[in-house]
Amino acid sequence: MTTTNTKKTTAPKKDSKVENTDMKELMEQMQKLMDQNAALRSEVDNIKQGTPHYAPAPAQTVDREVSFVSLFPGILNLSTEGHGQGQLYTFTEFGQIHMIPYSEAKLILKNQSHFAKAGYFYVGDAELVKNSQLTTAYKTILDQKSFESLFETAPTAFGKIFKGIPEAQRESFADMIVLKLYNGEKIDMNIVQEVNLATKRDLVTEATGDKAIFTSEPKK
């Protein structure tokens, strides 16, 4: 009878250091999954609440531009420091537009607030108007479109509207009438008479004078 000797084999023992390493990696993977899951939940919550889930964009360092429209029928100088100092912007006619950086526009409104409140120009930026404490003044100041539409206003309504605008704008409107008369343009003489009475001027007589008066600057 033949007998076969068999060897009993046993699996090699796993090094405890290897086991610890595997466990550490497993824990790290689980933690990563938990972090990703938490981030996903946060993103979903933000979407439900209507709030952006992205990082806010950095503040812009470049000024946005603000439109300044001249409402003066002559030469108008605006500067950041007043009295022609600093950055100077020159308007040569009614309706001319300059796009001015916001930071400079703020300085102009601060240092030439008299011109701003008088309505020699119009600022096309509601936020800047509010921040410059011009909201009350802008309740009566006309913009370019409204200013020009006065020429088409019925004489019966013209007087009330005209008396409600700033004095400087009344004078500018009178100057525009003189210029139109000088150039032979047709104007409702009822309006001319209303402006004569409100400004105590004789616009028809002025229109026969020297055209140089139309390049004058606003009264300080």
In a domain, 10, yes or no: no
d(CA 183, CA 30): 86
In a domain, 52, yes or no: no
Residue for token pair 């704008």 = 169
In a domain, 50, yes or no: no
Mean pLDDT along residues 62-66: 86
Q: pLDDT by residue (tens digit) across 138-193? A: 999 999 999 999 999 999 999 999 999 999 999 999 999 999 999 999 999 999 99
Q: Is the pLDDT of residue 57 over 50?
A: no
What domain range includes position 172?
A: 65-215
Q: Is the pLDDT of residue 74 over 50?
A: yes
Q: What pLDDT band is residue 38 in, cutting at 50, 70 and 90?
A: low
Q: pLDDT by residue (tens digit) across 108-143? A: 999 999 999 999 999 999 999 999 999 999 999 999
In a domain, 200, yes or no: yes
d(CA 22, CA 71): 80
Q: Considering its fold, how many domains does the chain have in total?
A: 1
Q: What pLDDT band is residue 31 in, cutting at 50, 70 and 90?
A: low
In a domain, 110, yes or no: yes
d(CA 180, CA 174): 10
Mean pLDDT along residues 12-40: 60
In a domain, 94, yes or no: yes
In a domain, 13, yes or no: no
In a domain, 174, yes or no: yes
